[in-house]
Structure 1
């Protein structure tokens, strides 16, 4: 098996956080060096995003869910399903199906394959819906496009950080005097001593509208997260789906397979870019990791 074939065989596990740290580094380095594998990676990532973003048109009645679960439980397993596939299907399926108690419904091999077929069908339907509706979506603003482009350049290794540190205070101080606004990164994780939900990598300046915006790089579960900030007088969020919560208006969009959330707060306009599940609302933990903010993040979830 060639090195490219080996890397391509690991892409799905990379996207589902099923690898070890050294495997992530090896794949990311190969994707930076190999255009063909990088293209294949983008195709699978976008397909996975379509599957995860697909939503049922209505909530299935509990009686129907119970009947399907009962029918699946009567199927005799005749094959073995790898543990990684089981986890991947359960992770994706959990976004569409509220699982029954473990005592009454377990994930046997045949059920795993049956559910995988259901998820694939939903994903294809979601792709068709996105294709037919894309002409009606509000256009993505310049600031939002810049944020996504910056995120992609960072992933490809084309955007080195100008300051590398895990200290929010050091990054905030570094931006002082370099941008025309004040950016104070929160320090929830260090101040509370709570479990580290994300890793701060560093920051840099990025050009926007004849000025500089602030770019901050994070990583959560080995996945990159980009935060871009500028003054409200320079850019305002627009386009996509509007979500109102806690007195703020968030704009959610899926751009090139990435989850993009933009909003304005206290004179600044922000953009968060990631490929996390659902709307990517977990990326908001980089600014709202406190317990009091959990309801706020829940409000950004897709309502099935």
Structure 2
């Protein structure tokens, strides 16, 4: 399976600690060149998550991981919407050719009214829906992630269905007091775990006894869950995540899966100054993997740099910490 260009990594850059920064936001080629330049010129590897799931999303990864002997994680996540939501097949019209969702949308304003309006349009057509009307309905379905929940009835994807598509455990985001729109919002920039697991799968043979992970902008724990699904023990995870909701989600997953390692949670990357990193190195002996992704709040908000299309300041903080970790690693071998 050829998914993208081989990472241009060699020499010292190819040595541990390994790093991976995943961006699931659609940014320009120039923006990729700019962020690549801050990470030793490593070229991004692009993957479409539809190769692994029912989500069709172009993702880019900057990493120094080996590319040989990758493998998919099993069991696999659903590959189509119908696989993820089997009940919908009874109502899905033949003219709706969608197999994948195109994004993780958290927009809820007016969604009930939209579904009612579309349903009325279909019923009023009495089975004679024009090509133009079909195209309009499909456009709305794609934009709002609507699926067929009854005869001529549409509704939004529910959080547990989105979790299934993204490769997370059932009810992973189901915290007390968190409503469905907020649960979807928490997953807006989350990793699709089958996709990132494919890249991380090479670590299983390299670290059979487990990994020490520094996870920056952990979100709802996509990288941690991917490693767990691969069967790689987590010796320790130092997780940096500002969202209190996301931290609670990860902490609850850690307890539910009875991880034997240590979970250390920090509520801001500003806490990772040199002295704090030195203390972590003394405690854990260093890190084997520094993983990071798009920064966001649990509401799905992100600070966007107009020229880069993503939160560049948070990315630069990731690079700062990574460079410091790699330079310190030589003293803790």
With the shorter chain as reference, the TM-score category is under 0.3
The answer to which structure has the higher helix fraction is 1
The answer to which structure has the higher strand fraction is 1
What TM-score results when the alignment is normalised by the length of structure 2? 0.25
Pick 1 or 2: higher relative contact order, CA cutoff 8 A, min separation 6.
2
What TM-score results when the alignment is normalised by the length of structure 1? 0.26
